Chain A
Amino acid sequence: MKRFDLIVIGTGLAGLTAARTAIGMGAKVLIVGRGMGALTLFGNTVDLLGEIPPDTEMEEGISRWIASHPEHPYARTGWEGIESAIAAFQELFPPPYNFAAAGRGNSLLPTGAGTMRPTWLIPVTMAAGAAMTPAETLIVGFRGFKDFQGDTVSLHMKCRGVTLPLPRYGLEGLTAPALARLMDETSFRERLGEAIRQQMAGERFIGLPAVLGLRDPAAVLKTLETITGARVFEIPMLPPSIPGTRIFHRFREELIAKGATFRMGHPVSGAVVKDGRCEGIRIDNPPLVAEYRADRFILATGRFLGGGLWAEMERIIEPVFDIPVFQPGERGQWFGERFFEPEAHPIHRAGVVTDADLRPVDTLGRVVLANLRAAGSILAHHQAIEEKSREGIDIATGFLAAKKALAL
């Protein structure tokens, strides 16, 4: 039987951050996950808290937010916790493909619906989106690539737009990963750059769907900018997300290089619990069930979409450890009458409640399992979708959970 210092359950941004932090502290780490996590669906930029108006400094905005939201995950990490975790994230992405804030507060970036969206850290391939003005921007869509509707974007943003047939292939029904792989080919992106250049009418910015390559996006950016003479930026669009996939790959590469054990594709079917501690987990790998043991565990399995939470008709459960889940009322109260409500639907506040050390607690505030911590969106009392805090919560609590677990 293999024994680890720490087992991280979940391969989303929270789990990956926890595993990397623990590796950095010299721990022997196993990270297990069922799939590639929400990163590959929605990962684009790093949001901290989109609710803070762009003219407010981030540190000030978040500190004030924490004071009025004592149950929020950020209240566990504090601004310092967020800051150091974000700095560690940025170290993993050195130039040329780096993440940086465009100002001292949130920046607004264009989206695939032609709206503007507030965010904090921006990858270099999206940076120009924060600087563009509609009058100087050309939006380019690809004929047959249905998950980015260029006309929708350009109509809403009130800038010029073109939809190009793809050079060489001209295929219809292309997917984002297929397009990204084509972009990785020098000849393809050179011909595309040339095709864009011929459409330009003096624009200084060019917006493209976020498919600028998986292997070396900075090189794709450079090719396109050199040929067109304009600043090029990626626009986040319908899942799957290529920028999020890049983040996942970078983490995995780093974790494997530093000696973490990576197990993907198999669900955790249960836990071995004894005397208020978790001793191990079981992983289904039909026809075998493998058991892994560790001194500490971090649960970072996400929300409903990731499988960290599961809603039965009457109650919400946490399937791996069956630890208590905070639930806002009964089923009829989980959702508001309208899809768009001024407040997030009550169910989004559901999740695992923890103590200051991120250890899950029951309704009386008692720690459930002494060596288990929870991190990421599975935590209760945030509204990541509406607040726009998904990556910030993942990174800050993943970082803190690992620090606390190994401080024992």
Chain B
Amino acid sequence: MTTTDEERFSAFFADTHEALLAYALRRTAVPADAADVVAETYLVVWRRLADVPPGDEARLWLYGVARRVLANATRGERRRNALADRVRESLTDALDGAPASGGSPAAADAVEVTDVERAVEDLPEADREVLRLVAWEELGRDEIATVLGVTRATVRVRLHRARRRLRDRLAATAAGGAAAAGGAADAVGQTPGPQRDGRAGHVRGGRATGRPGVEVNR
């Protein structure tokens, strides 16, 4: 360890810790887990300090690391990191004193907030993440491409698709529960699922069937 490294890390930590905690809170079901995600993310940063890019890109790189830490956390056993103990306790205290909802004017409409949250949760993960990065982290397309490790063109396609699906979901919700349930596949702009034809054991997909002579089932 060198003093320079510690100073560099500390400056980066000071600049980013609240944004990182917000990023983690937006993606964890249990707020206490967000503290562990923050701690594990910064541990990666500390170990890979030489890889942290300069300037504004550093925050994007940080989100990319946090995204992978989150992906691991959702797949494996939930771990409690002792380094995060105090942040976790303080976070719990802060939550206890927070209003149930409504930090912004629009949030006063509790029904609308619930609908959009539900609609987003129904979307594929790739759609959800690109929407979150736009709406909550307020990132541009280039920045999102850096976080996700994909091209700007891919971000453009994903964002277009995600916005359309979210809009359709919200419209379906507004049109009523029956319409939402009955037209979910169409509402999200997806190809309807495979339909069985008359032959036993044959699945005909929306586009690609099995090669001639091959039947696939179950």
Binding between chains A and B: no
